Structure 1
Amino acid sequence: METFCYKPIGYVRSPFKDRDHAPKFYTESGDALARLELLPAYQDGLLGVEPGMELMMLFAFHKTDRHDLQVHKRGTGPLTGVFATRSSRRPNGIGVSIIKVVSIDGTLLTFRGVDMLDGTPVLDLKIAE
């Protein structure tokens, strides 16, 4: 079996400090703002990223310490295979959300669509279109 090692490109600074208070889905975050503190080595990767753009943010579920192959959908719904959910209890602990860029200042990217906890390691950004 292969092993992969990913290094964060930055970290989310979010108003959500624990899972109990974080939205379960990026569309549920309303007007909440967060910032991606991109590591300086990756700043050149922001060329072409503009306010108003939607990006896919891939991140690590860094506060989850286990995985389940079946979970209750949305916490209380029917028992469902984890691959048919957005549960953080995944075999590889990788999350994805669509964010909307509000502003960029050097290595600081402010965005809406935050459903990540403060300190979440970001693995990659990709255009959402």
Structure 2
Amino acid sequence: MNNTSIHLDIIGKIKTPWLTPENMPIQPTGAKNIKGTIELNSNYTAGLKNIDGFSHIILIYHLHLINEPKLEVVPFMDTESKGIFATRSPQRPNKLGFSIVEIERVIDNKIHVLHVDMINDSPLLDIKPFFEDFDNRFNTKKGWLANKTNLDKTNFKSDDRFK
């Protein structure tokens, strides 16, 4: 199969307090208790049935402010260039982001969540339930991040390197 493009529907928007990338958290652990709202397009509301039984969800969204993807970047937690696929840099070829957030409550087509680390109005592409029995992995390798121990994960903020 040699398709060069795909079509994805935007199913909603992610509302957060982060209006610009500067100084926003780079991971949900750095956005402890920061509130946001998932506003699903009304034609997808039925898809939220039973989502309130989960404590966390995985959001897949478009990194809509990224102008130029790169294959090598200097990630936030290092000073040396790395391959884009060995980082969580937003300058990805397909501009896809994912975050695991905690559900606070669900009302109609809105999911109120905690620990938002994405820019306001990020186009939402998909929602998946987080299931700890399947989604957690232990005894894994950490690659170049292995020597990054005792990090203050709550204090990692973005800067202008990925504009």
CA displacement, residues 14-69 of structure 1 (integer Å, 9 cap, x when unaligned): 00000003111111101110001100011011111116521110000000011010
Q: Deviations over 1:53-103 (max 9, x none)?
A: 211100000000110101001175321111111111000000000011101
Give the SS at the match of 1:74: coil
Equivalent position to 2:84, from 82, 85, 91: 82
Task: Look up the match of 2:8.
Answer: 6
- Which of 100, 106, 111 is 1:109 aligned to? 111
Identical-residue share of aligned pairs (%):
25
TM-score by length of 1: 0.94
- State the partner residue of 1:18: 20
CA contact (8 A) 1:51 1:101 kept: no
Distance 2:41 2:8 in 1: 14
TM-score by length of 2: 0.75
5+ residue gaps, structure 1, are: none
Q: Which of 33, 39, 42 is the matching residue for 1:40?
A: 42
Give unpaired runs (5+ residues) of structure 2.
Answer: 132-163
Query: SS in structure 2 opposite 1:50?
Result: helix
**Root-mean-square deviation (Å):** 1.3
Match of 2:95 among 88, 93, 97: 93
Contact 1:51 1:104 in 2 (8 A): no
